Amino acid sequence: MRFFDFLLLSLVAGACKASTVDHATAAASQQACQRIAGHLGASIVQSSGAAYDFAASNAWNFANALLRPTCIVFPSQAAHVQAAMREIYRAKSRFAVQAGSHSAMKGWNNVQDGVLIVFSNMKNATYNPASDSIILEPGIHWGEATATLSRFGVAPVGGRVGDVGTGLLLGGGLSFLSPSQGYAADNFKALDVVLVDGRLITATATNQYSDLFRAMKGGANRFGIVTRYEVQAVHVGTDDETPFFGGFIIYDGSTAEALSKATAKYVREVNDPQAVLLTTFTTIVLQGVLQTIAEVFLFYRGTSLPPSIFGDFLAIPALVTQVGPLSYTQVLATIGPESVNAQRGFVQHMGASALAGQEQLYLDALTHYQNFTNTFMNPASGAGMNYSTLAFTAVPASQIAAGRAKGGNVMIPANLKKGFAAVQLAQQFNPGVSAIPSFVQQGIDLLFRQVPPSPGLPLYVNECDAGQKVFESYGGYELLKATYRKYDPERFNVQHCQGPIGL
């Protein structure tokens, strides 16, 4: 089956339109920046210089690295964030927040003609053995947090790529520890949150802000700016200990169908909280020719990979197999800094789906991915795309149950009992491409329609397209809307900050 030819015909239809300056927006951000600088000083609030240039241009998605904020605020404490938000709110300025700078969504971690708050000066991670909890400041990356905490033998339930930051938590967070611990956000104990009007509150599961606490388990950037995370510690051993076994296996692209079937079976049948699976199919352009490889990341908290769980993957002929005993630091480093997930200087894009365990759903997703890739990665298409991937993250029933045992989150519907797979569809574009061509976005939108989420399953907001209605897929959507109305009755956030739609 070929991809729809009309998409290629639109190659000539994407002429650029001249942008116009919104003078009111520019004036509001100038006013906010001047007032914030008056409170905090020139060392914290910058509109030019080396620190400004680095922060403004360091976003992982090159489309965000091209945006130029009116000023950047570099807070080192919550009071600085409060001062900034009070003046942003007063001036009605646009704003954005950057923690790890790893968002693929354009405008979600940088802003044109607005105020950007960058947490590069708030990167501490500490462990409190009395409460068995970890305190994280919002600017830290997961690789840094793991390295800092490893001597205590503990880790937070955090990202699978060391370059990713704490924004992952607010989107729910998928982790190599999730099958036994729930989503990353399920492990919140307390959050210090600056609301849109500059008030600072601490939200927990049992205090007067318990509704906000729950909404922030998947509510992304819509409910406030977190300046301090207290999360449950997970005892994973020090760097000298290897309680995990696993690694990665690389396969030729010809194995894609067999791997899709094995992944569907795993999602359908495996519910061991010590087992972890991530299956990826990646296509690149190498010397003008499309080449696809498959890579499976598989881990078990134990001394081997049980054949009853991973036997189907181990039986498929592989190009490279690299598995063995691992510390948790080594587990986290498996998707290393050389991966596309850490490369900067390219326009990046992601989209999300979610599939139940029926085999045909995975085969269909693979077919549509291959059709899309063959169309838009053909150098003759003019799409300028050099990388495309389809990834399945197994979300077992044990993960859902672990989250419910910790109070639940706003994402998972109350009646969802079975495991599923979170699906990522991602693309990377050539150096020099500054925006996704309109005809390619049409193709991406079609791909979403061809790989729809199974009924009743939530999308993963950290890997979504900006146009996807992720919140509507949540089991707690009505709670989410009611909580947003309560804490932002003027709808300031959705009008002045880009993020998930639907509130």
Task: For residue 60, give the CATH number of its domain.
Answer: 3.30.43.10
Domain co-membership, 173 together with 137? yes
In a domain, 1, yes or no: no
User: Residue 39's domain spans which residues?
Assistant: 22-118
What is the reported pLDDT for 337? 65
Domain co-membership, 369 together with 472? yes
Domain co-membership, 420 together with 275? yes
Domain co-membership, 139 together with 252? no
The last residue of a domain, from among 204, 219, 238: 238
Domain co-membership, 112 together with 173? no
CATH number at residue 142: 3.30.465.10
In a domain, 493, yes or no: no
What is the reported pLDDT for 480? 98
The last residue of a domain, from among 118, 144, 179: 118
Domain co-membership, 250 together with 234? no
DSSP 428-479: EE-TT--S--HHHHHHHHHHHHHSPPPTT----GGG--TTS-TGGGSTTHHH
| For the chain, counts of helices (H) and of strands (E) | 17, 18
Domain co-membership, 335 together with 471? yes
In a domain, 339, yes or no: yes
Domain co-membership, 353 together with 424? yes
Q: Please report, in tens digits, the pLDDT of each residue of the chain (503 residues total).
A: 433 333 333 333 333 333 445 888 999 999 999 999 999 999 999 999 999 999 999 999 999 999 999 999 999 999 999 999 999 999 999 999 999 999 999 999 999 999 999 999 999 999 999 999 999 999 999 999 999 999 999 999 999 999 999 999 999 999 999 999 999 999 999 999 999 999 999 999 999 999 999 999 999 999 999 999 999 999 999 999 999 999 999 999 999 999 999 999 999 999 999 999 999 999 998 887 899 999 999 999 999 999 999 999 999 999 999 999 999 999 999 987 666 666 889 999 999 999 999 999 999 999 999 999 999 998 889 999 999 999 999 999 999 999 999 999 999 999 999 999 999 999 999 999 999 999 999 999 999 999 999 999 999 999 999 999 999 999 999 999 999 999 999 999 999 999 999 99
Domain co-membership, 70 together with 107? yes
In a domain, 417, yes or no: yes
Cα distance between residue 31 and residue 15, in whole Å? 34
Domain co-membership, 327 together with 454? yes
In a domain, 263, yes or no: yes
What is the reported pLDDT for 186? 98
In a domain, 498, yes or no: no
- Global pTM? 0.94
Domain co-membership, 202 together with 234? yes
DSSP 352: E
The last residue of a domain, from among 118, 145, 180: 118
CA atoms within 13 A of residue 48's CA, in its CB half-sphere: 0
Domain co-membership, 319 together with 417? yes
CATH number at residue 272: 3.40.462.20
In a domain, 14, yes or no: no
Cα distance between residue 232 and residue 138, in whole Å? 16
**C-alpha closest to that of 190 among 205, 200, 176, 180:** 205
In a domain, 267, yes or no: yes
Query: Number of structural domains, the chain?
Result: 3
